[in-house]
Amino acid sequence: MLNFDALSTCLGATSCLVTQVTTGLIIGMLLFLVASGVTLIFGVLKVVNFAHGAFYMIGAYTAYTTYAVVGNYYLAVVAGALSAAVIGVLFESLMIRRVYKENLLMQLLVCYAFVLICDDLVKMIWGAEYLAMGIPAEFRVPPIRFAGGVVPPFYIFLVATSLLVAVLCLLLITYSRFGKIVRAAAANATMVSVLGIRVPLYFAGLFGLGCALAGMAGALAAPRAVADAGHGLVDPD
Amino acid sequence: MKPLTTVQCDCLIAFVFFLALLALGVIFPSLWLMDTLTALFASGLLAMSLHLLVGYTGLVSFGHAAYFAAGGYVFGMVLQANGFVEAAGAWSVPLAILAAFAATGLFALIVGLICARLSEVYFAFLTLAFQMLFVSLIQGLVEFTGGDQGLVGGIPRPVFLGIDLTESWDRYAFCAFLFTAGVLAIRLVTQSSFGYTLRMVRDNERRTAFLGVNTYRVKVVSFTIAGSVASLGGVILAIFTSAAYPEWASWSNSGEAIFMIMLGGLNSFLGPLAGALAMRAINDVTLLYTTHTDLAKGVVILFVVLILKRGILDYAIDLVRNRRAQADNERAKALHRRDGERVDTREDADAAA
Amino acid sequence: MTHKNHTLTRRNFVAAAGAVGFMSLACPSILRAQGATIKVGMPTILSGRVAILGETASVGARMIIDAVNAEGGIDGRQIELVIRDTKGKPDEAARITRELINNDKCELILDAEASGGSFAVHEVMRDTGLYCIHSISEASALTADPANHVHWIFRSGRQGIHDAIAGGLYASGLAKNGVKRWAVCSPDYSYGRDTTAEFREFLSVFAPDVQFVGETWPKAFQPDYTENITNLLNIAPEGLYTCLWGGDLVAFFDQASLYGLFDQFQTVAVNMGDAPVLEAIKNLPAGIHSGNRYHKDVPDTQANEIWNTAFRKSGKLPTNWGWQAYTGAHFVVEALKATKGDTNRDKLADATRGRKIVSPHGVDGTVTMREGDNTLIGYAVGYGKTLSTDPHLTDFQPTPWDVILQHEAEWKERKKYL
């Protein structure tokens, strides 16, 4: 609902502005991580990964368990990203690879099936009830007051991490050998394979990278949300 | 005797189909079967009408459930309206169905006029946006639609022509009739010359336009027809549940319809129905053993897509056709080859496309 | 051409007919014989974010039915509870309930649906005319509105208005201590809207000088509450009311704690006091005001303590849904005992109406199915404050039932329900 009075009052006050801007940043950065995974995959492989939400979920659940066992949030994030990557590579090489040439609806169907299976497996492993990870102890501190606004330190960490990962990804795709090969393969896969490069391997790797981003976003966001099965498909809204 | 025309033939088949449905109800007088089939009629009509867009016009609409739900809501709201039943008396149910059909047609026409200019992905997402708009409309207008609680309080269904929709047999028979009528309507459209224009638009829109066809108009008309037929599905479900719910217009309902089409077969007229049946069968059979229906659904879909590589009905038809082609081949070898005899059916042409 | 086309259609048709045949074969349930057991159907939510509702409701209902079966059942007939997942969708609830009746041959229904689905089940039960007890839905209109009154349908759980009166009374106590400016943050669907409106109505009745200065309405299952939280920070009220529940409440609290929201004002969260919520919030702020939902110390009796222990043996934490479904099953069993296993709806309804049963959840050790509007009274209602450690809820103030009943009657008059 639009409330222009509130908007104008808010724009006039620094405190409100600071709070709102950081709020926008935090939501934006997490969405950005998820979206960049989708874009990365779509840009190179020309396939829309409708099942991207499932990897977000996998990341969140793995992070939950890792945190419960190890008690270290940073390790939990890494574990979340890794598990999503591994399952992503499997998903690519066993299923998605077979429908690259098919029409959009066939790809959608494969993703839908994957999401259904993931949701039920998650339910079997973790149960259907919601799980809450809780804010890690190191971030259970009072929010920082800045120019009258309120900014939780945990969100500063989230935004910074997301930014860092984004920059790393950009560098990887632009400058690394992996990035160059993948981009070349996207332009002309046959030519690249003639040069003796195993293109399918690189495609699987790229798919895994995209999924890792989603898994990482899920793991990063895990402390502030409850994890529950059934949110695998990319929500249209 | 003069051979029947296509239209007559289709009508005859539809009539026999309707009788068969009635017979099924008589032979197995189980409430469960009738309820299951009634629910299937509703989802079947949703999928079949969407198939007119996806399969025949090449328009992938992600928002088809909106018209389905609109049918149910208009039907329910008209009958619940103050004084309507008193005024219309025995004609209230047919009038309400007509109102649902017409109002949904108008709604689809408006959306079609706006969306049909767009291509593929944009079309899909704009139709989805309209569906979401429709859902928020339902949820917002609480006084009229009951908001997220749905259209509750029971829908009055006065007796008409001796049909009492609160009786399970009458309800089943009438829903079977509505269903058959809807399927027949789609059949007639697809077999008409307009139906072939639709296929041309699907296969090559630009070339069709060069032939002097106003492809925009063709798409809008197709969208409107599909929307109005979908509304009959909503009416069936509203008769069945004596209510209407915003979930009917949810995006997952639209998605499910697309999956039914793909599962059943994109290239056969009855594919969507087979898909609806298959979805339901997977669900019910799994429930006998475990609650993990999603897992079973996922595995079956994967099997269909990755192993069969086409819908179930398409696969079956291809199988039969291959076998027949082989038999033909052998006969031809035996008789020596005769020219000009091989008649490709239109369905063949469809399948090839 | 025409002819060819015709055969093809017929072939399609035959394929479809074959598939129908397959389906009837694949579902042996049609052929399943009806045994001598009394089947009680229970549509509930077993998947999605609210799965815990159905899981704990099932435990509650099973507790009593298993006990009766162990004692030999009703006149030698065992009771079978048939539990089905409705996924929390009203249309699915309607379909499943019909299926329970037509396919599984359930003779009565113990509805364990949340508010949206309960209205759908209500319509089906009105249509099919079988005995039914709603055990979960708290929507006041379900039984209070005469338009929904059906003499063979009952409610064995909380009625929203009872909690609203208790909440209003409790919050007016806070208002006397200077908490005058209130804001609300409740879920944006009918349960949230109605419950919040009822709370506001009664807080204004008990403390006419309070002001409602802002509101924010998160959507169902919203993953991010930052927008609502910052909105509340801007409103800067002295008191906050929320009827968010389950996973949504946990997520909201985790996110709001980051902003130190709960240091800034008094919070009344009616649905906080359920064990799974209290134990899921890892850093539960102390001093949140909550309704009792189900709590092992409310009422503080031996019977409740025993019930709590018995429930936890299932491996699940006891919930409000658990005791409500338990109570529903209890009424079903008592009614069946009274009719000697006859499932005729009018006989069962006569046996249920006005019945008082011994209950660990009643304030005086009993709860009553009130005549007139077929709803439960006499259960423990009240508010307390959260603690970050066990027992999680302290300073409990029960609301006396004479007060509740008096205000409920006035409310019904205002609503023209009488």
Question: Taking the CA atoms of chain B, what radius of gyration do you get in angstroms?
Answer: 21
**Residue B338: inside a domain, yes or no?**
no
Q: Are the beta carbons of C282 and A133 separated by less than 8 Å?
A: yes
pLDDT digits (tens, 9 = 90+) for C200-232: 999 998 889 888 998 898 887 777 788 888 888
Q: What is the mean pLDDT of residues B305-322?
A: 84
Contact C119 B28 (CB under 8 A): no
Within 8 A of C47 by CB-CB distance, chain A residues are: 123, 128, 229-230
Nearest CA in chain A to C218: A1
* pLDDT band at B54; cut points 50, 70, 90: confident
C226 → closest Cβ in A27, A127, A129 = A27
Q: What is the pLDDT of residue B2?
A: 63
Q: What is the mean pLDDT of residues B90-95?
A: 85
Residue B347 in domain: no
What pLDDT score was predicted for residue A158? 87
Amino acid A234: pLDDT: 36
Cβ atoms of C180 and C174 within 8 Å: the answer is: no
Q: Does A106 touch chain B (CB under 8 A)?
A: yes
The CA distance from C58 to C52, in Å, is 10
Q: What is the DSSP letter of C402?
A: H
- Of A149 and C169, the one with more pLDDT: C169
Question: A128, C46: Cβ pair inside 8 Å?
Answer: yes
- The closest alpha carbon to C203, from C175, C184, C183, belongs to C175
At residue A146, does pLDDT exceed 60? yes
pLDDT of residue A55: 92
Q: How many CB pairs under 8 A join B and C?
A: 145
Query: Is residue B221 one of the residues assigned to a domain?
Result: yes
Q: Which of C1, C7, C20, C87 to mutate to test the interface with B (most CBs of B within 10 A)?
A: C20
A234 located within any domain: no
Residue B220 lies in a domain: yes
- Whether A15 is in a domain gets the answer no
C157 touching B (Cβ < 8 Å): no
Q: What is the pLDDT of residue B343?
A: 47
Residue B76: inside a domain, yes or no?
Answer: yes
Q: Is the pLDDT of residue B272 over 80?
A: yes
Q: What percent of chain C has pLDDT over 70?
A: 91
Among B13, B45, B241, B253, which would you mutate to test the C interface (most chain C Cβ atoms within 10 Å of its Cβ)? B241
Query: Mean pLDDT across the stretch C387-403?
Result: 84
Please check the confidence at residue C8 and state whether its pLDDT lies above 70: no
CB atoms within 10 A of CB B321: 16
Task: Give the residue-averaged pLDDT of B302-315.
Answer: 83
- Nearest residue of chain C to residue A150 (CA atoms): C259
Question: How distant is the Cα of B195 from the closest Cα of chain A, in angstroms?
Answer: 22
Longest dimension (CA), chain C: 88
Q: Is the pLDDT of residue A188 over 80?
A: yes
Give the gap in angstroms from C-alpha C270 to the nearest C-alpha of chain B.
22
Other C-beta atoms lying within 10 Å of the C-beta of residue A230: 22
Mean pLDDT of C376-383: 90
Proportion of chain B above pLDDT 70, given as a percent: 93
In a domain, A140, yes or no: yes
pLDDT of res. C5: 41
Q: Which of A94, A105, A114, A234 to mutate to test the interface with B (most CBs of B within 10 A)?
A: A105
The two structure tokens encoding residue C199:
């709370």
pLDDT (mean) for C274-297 = 82
> What span, in angstroms and rounded, lies between the C-alpha atoms of B139 and B142?
6
For the stretch B187-244, pLDDT in tens is 989 888 888 888 888 888 888 888 888 888 899 999 999 999 999 999 999 888 888 8
Higher pLDDT pick, C335 / C47: C335
For B150, counting Cβ atoms within 10 Å of its Cβ (0-12 exposed, 13-18 middle, 19+ buried), the class is: buried
Residue B17 has its nearest CB partner, among C13, C22, C99, at: C13
**Mean per-residue pLDDT for B271-291?**
84
Length of chain C measured in residues: 418
List CB contacts of C189: < 8 A, sequence separation 6 or more. B139, B147, B148, C116, C220
**Higher per-residue confidence, B309 vs B38:** B38
- Residue C13, pLDDT > 50, answer no
In this predicted structure, the answer to whether residue C418 has a pLDDT above a threshold of 80 is no
**Quick check: C4 and B345 CB within 8 A?**
yes
Give the whole-angstrom CA distance, residue A202 versus residue A205: 5
pLDDT above 90 for B345: no
Residues C328/C61, Cβ–Cβ less than 8 Å:
yes
Residue B351 lies in a domain: no
Across the range C288-304, mean pLDDT stands at 87
Whether residue C6 has pLDDT greater than 60: no
Closest residue of A to C245, CA-based?
A: A130
> Is A10's Cβ below 8 Å from some Cβ in C?
yes
| Count of domains forming chain B | 1
Mean pLDDT for chain B overall:
83
**Alpha-carbon distance A95 to A91, whole Å?**
6
* Closest CA–CA distance from residue B106 to any residue of chain A (Å): 26
DSSP result, C38-63: EEEEEEE--SGGGHHHHHHHHHHHHH
> Is the minimum CB–CB distance between A48 and chain B shorter than 8 Å?
no
Which range marks the domain in which residue A90 is found? 22-227
DSSP three-state, residue A57: helix
Confidence grade of residue A7 (pLDDT, cut at 50, 70, 90): low
* A10 occurs within a structural domain: no
- Is C413 exposed, middle or buried, given 0-12, 13-18 or 19+ CB atoms closer than 10 A? exposed
- Tell me whether A17 touches chain C (CB under 8 Å): no
Top pLDDT among C91 and A179 is at: A179
CA-based nearest residue to B54, from B262, B207, B225: B262
Give residues 220 to 279 of C whose Cβ lies within 8 Å of B.
Answer: none
pLDDT band at B120 (very low <50, low <70, confident <90, very high): confident
Nearest CA in chain A to C53: A129
- pLDDT for C31 equals 36
Query: Does A228 contact chain B (CB < 8 Å)?
Result: no
Indicate if the pLDDT at residue C7 is higher than 70. Answer: no
Interval C37-54 mean pLDDT: 86
In which band, very low, low, confident or very high, does the pLDDT at C105 lie, cut at 50, 70 and 90?
confident
What is the Rg, in whole angstroms, of the alpha carbon atoms belonging to chain A? 20
Contact assignment for C48 to A152 by CB distance below 8 Å: no
In a domain, B174, yes or no: yes
ipTM (interface predicted TM): 0.79
Task: Tell me how far CA of residue C367 lies from CA of B92, B301, C65, C156, C280, in angstroms.
Answer: 46, 51, 18, 9, 30
Task: Answer yes or no: is B58 within a domain.
Answer: yes
Q: What percent of chain C has pLDDT over 90?
A: 22
In this prediction, residue C35 carries a pLDDT of: 47
Interface test with B, best of A120, A123, A125 (most B CBs within 10 A): A120
Percent of chain B with pLDDT over 90: 20
Residue A119 lies in a domain: yes
Residue of A108, A109, A114, A126 best to disrupt the B interface, most CBs of B under 10 A:
A109
CATH code, B136: 1.10.3470
Top-confidence residue, B127 or C89: B127
Domain, as residue range, for B124: 6-250
Domains of chain C: 38-160+300-377 (3.40.50.2300), 164-298+381-414 (3.40.50.2300)
- Per-residue pLDDT of B151-189, as tens digits, reads 776 777 877 887 777 777 888 889 999 999 999 999 989
Q: Determine, for residues B255 and A95 on separate chains, whether the beta-carbon distance falls below 8 Å.
A: no
List the single residue in C with minimal CA-CA distance to B341.
Answer: C1
Q: How confident is the model at residue C233 (pLDDT cuts 50, 70, 90)?
A: confident
Strands, E, within chain A: which ranges? 131-132, 144-146, 149-151, 226-227
Question: A93-122, pLDDT tens digit by residue?
Answer: 988 888 887 777 788 888 888 988 888 888
Contact between C102 and B245 using a beta-carbon 8 Å cutoff: no
Give the number of other CB atoms < 10 A from CB of residue B288.
10
Q: Quick check: is A150 in a domain?
A: yes
Quote the pLDDT of residue A236.
28
> Residues 195..224 of C with a Cβ closer than 8 Å to A: which?
223-224
Question: Domain count of chain A?
Answer: 1
Q: Exposed, middle or buried by CB within 10 Å (0-12, 13-18, 19+), for B106?
A: middle
